[in-house]
Amino acid sequence: MAMDKRPFGEIIGKLTVTKEGKRLGIVHDITFETRTGELIQIVVKDPTPYTKNLNLERTKENEILIPYNSIIAIGDFVVVSEEDVI
């Protein structure tokens, strides 16, 4: 999926939602492969109760990890495809 390039700081702090409008949490960080620069996942803090129903990988700090390839759009929100997340 080709997306417009966005500065790191422009994505941090955005609300993450599914394309159906379910809130997931706030983007806290992004992980990437250091050798290639390939984006791997976004780290979402303050996960909503809705995320408990999803089988998402979590950090020690209880932040959720969302695969970067599940992102549909980045604008006022980071919109992800729930089908690609689980």
Residue ranges of domains in the chain: 12-74
Beta bridge partners of 48: none
* Mean pLDDT lowest among 6-10, 28-32, 34-38, 71-75: 6-10
Q: How many CA atoms within 13 Å lie on the side-chain side of 27?
A: 26
pLDDT tens-digit series, residues 15-33: 999 999 999 999 999 998 8
Which parts of the chain fold into alpha helices (H)? Answer: 8-11, 82-85
Query: What is the average pLDDT value for the chain, to the nearest integer?
Result: 87
pLDDT tens-digit series, residues 41-54: 999 999 999 988 88
**pTM of the predicted protein model:** 0.82
Considering the segment(s) 12-74 as one domain, its CATH architecture is Roll (2.30)
What integer pLDDT is reported at residue 78 of this predicted model? 93
Let me know: does 64 contact 44? Beta carbons within 8 Å. Answer: yes
Task: Tell me the C-alpha distance between 58 and 86, whole Å.
Answer: 13
